[in-house]
Structure 1
Amino acid sequence: MNHHIAVSFPPKRIVSLVPSQTELLAAFGLDNQVVGITKFCVHPEEWLSKKTIIGGTKSFHFDIIDKLQPDLIIGNKEENYEEGIRHLQEKYPVWMSDIVSLDDALNMIQGISQVTGKETEGSKITQTIQQSFETLKTSHGQSILYFIWRNPWMVAGSGTFIHTMLEKLSLKNVAPSSRYPVLSSDEIHRLKPDYILLSSEPYPFQEKHIAELKQISPSSRIILVDGEMFSWYGNRLIFAPDYFNSLSALLQ
């Protein structure tokens, strides 16, 4: 973004605008330093009642943030909205990430560890993630659609972190070549993916939605999946390969 920030080091009043990065700050042991989070920052669970809620990832309450007087705000290009970030940058140092690949995620972890004075913790987490991904078992190139929304149907396409995780599993994402394409029922039917994965977030897909999509794409096998494992790019990545290995056993 070509935006330079100056931070009082180490920062003592941090606001996090991204759930997976909030969880990372907790893993760094920054309980006392984190003063504000979004309503979607559900991990660690106890922070929802302990920390000040500053709104959502795409709807900041600027008056609440002003009262917190943060000396560092941490956001993400995709998860947050440009207008809100630009407004915050006028008053506060805002550290931004932009994550598509696993390397992007590892660099983000190291970057946040540096700006918060937690480089030892950051190095340990990135090394553990790398070791964990060495155990990843791949599938057999099955075609797939990964659904993130209903009404309208929306899937994860190329240029997304979810797409990168599907590639790690050697799955062929047949979504059109845009980041989050909207598909009609006819388009889903024509694509005929071997598998349809229904994410737990941002739309909370449930068992009842399997039958709905089965009518649209009868030849596809439909599975509910943990969206956090595919789209959270902080320390939760440590556990993703074990989850993916269990999933791969179903995709045979």
Structure 2
Amino acid sequence: MIQIKDQLDNLHQFETSPKRIVSLVPSQTELLYDLGLEDSMVGITKFCVHPIHLKKTKRIIGGTKIVDFTKIKELNPDVIIANKEENTKAIVDELSQICPVIVTDIKSVEDNLKMIDDFGQLFNKQEEAKQWISKISLAYNDFQFFMVDKPIKKALYFIWAKPYMVAGEDTFIDAMLKLNNFQNACNKPRYPEMNENEIKNSEVDLILLSSEPYPFNQSHEDQIGKFTSNVKIIQVDGESFSWYGSRILKAFDYFKTLHEKL
């Protein structure tokens, strides 16, 4: 008997390690692959792009906010892996009628390491999980040392345009900003909207335009630059700031190159 509490503190019990997995979160799909669970994954979302070949070999069950319940049921999964931020409670509740749904809630590097350990226990991949935890922990400590003498910059992290939306507090992105000594100028929770006047009056040193979920480009950089002054605007890799799981190992190297541009 395997007993595991997900990160919403829900207790799940399994007679044996689940063999048929549906993943509703791109970064968690990548982690499952890196833990050696490619053959066990039977369903993924259309946004699960790492590794890219999975989109050709696995059943696509929709997106993260809209899923095809019939397709998922037909896959006869033993477990569904979801996330509190990516998937709505209504989706999780309905999917729970099919099989257990493990819901993660990642707001820090420590939460991420706990998720990896949980997956290792659940899927009998303890050694693989231990190796990933070790590699990420070493890189995390190294990056913290790298940041020791870096100045604090007040920043806004844009995730959407039309309307403009930024990453607020109580998010994984906020944790990544703090790790980079970027003081989040948005003290509201989640992902609030901001108008041009609010952005202009935010008195930030830095504006970061994410590559996802909205594909910001040079035209957006030029547009925002028209109503901000003395503010450095940089387009950044959204996966490095918002993807957890095994992806964070690559993020630390990316962050180092980012600081070279500042």
**How many residue pairs align between the two structures?**
251
Partner in structure 1 of residue 60 of structure 2: 53
What's the offset of the Cα at 1:239? 1.2
Q: What's the Cα RMSD here?
A: 1.1
Partner in structure 1 of residue 12 of structure 2: 5
| Cα separation, 1, equivalents of 2:95 and 2:193 | 31
Partner in structure 1 of residue 79 of structure 2: 72
4+ residue segments displaced more than 6 Å = none
Q: Unaligned 5+ residue runs, structure 1?
A: none
Give matches, 1:187-202, under 5 Å.
187-202=198-213
Please state whether the residue corresponding to 1:59 is helix, strand or coil: coil
**Is the CA contact (8 Å cut-off) linking 1:132 and 1:239 kept in structure 2?**
no
What TM-score does the superposition give when structure 2 sets the normalisation length? 0.93
Please state whether the residue corresponding to 1:147 is helix, strand or coil: strand
The structure 2 residue matched to 1:93, chosen from 97, 100, 110, is 100
Please state whether the residue corresponding to 1:201 is helix, strand or coil: coil
Structure 1 residue 126 corresponds to structure 2 residue 133: yes
Partner in structure 1 of residue 30 of structure 2: 23
Q: Unaligned 5+ residue runs, structure 2?
A: 1-7
| Cα separation, 1, equivalents of 2:88 and 2:28 | 16
| Cα separation, 1, equivalents of 2:27 and 2:16 | 23
The structure 1 residue matched to 2:254, chosen from 204, 226, 243, is 243
Structure 1 residue 146 corresponds to structure 2 residue 157: yes
Partner in structure 2 of residue 180 of structure 1: 191
Partner in structure 2 of residue 213 of structure 1: 224
Partner in structure 1 of residue 41 of structure 2: 34
Moved more, 136-145 or 181-190: 136-145
| Cα separation, 2, equivalents of 1:4 and 1:235 | 24
| Cα separation, 2, equivalents of 1:29 and 1:2 | 26
Structure 1 residue 84 corresponds to structure 2 residue 96: no
**Is the CA contact (8 Å cut-off) linking 1:148 and 1:155 kept in structure 2?**
yes
What's the offset of the Cα at 1:218? 2.4
Structure 1 residue 225 corresponds to structure 2 residue 225: no
The structure 2 residue matched to 1:161, chosen from 172, 176, 182, is 172
| Cα separation, 2, equivalents of 1:122 and 1:19 | 18
| Cα separation, 2, equivalents of 1:74 and 1:178 | 25
What's the offset of the Cα at 1:3? 2.8
Please state whether the residue corresponding to 1:245 is helix, strand or coil: helix
**Is the CA contact (8 Å cut-off) linking 1:153 and 1:183 kept in structure 2?**
yes
Please state whether the residue corresponding to 1:99 is helix, strand or coil: coil
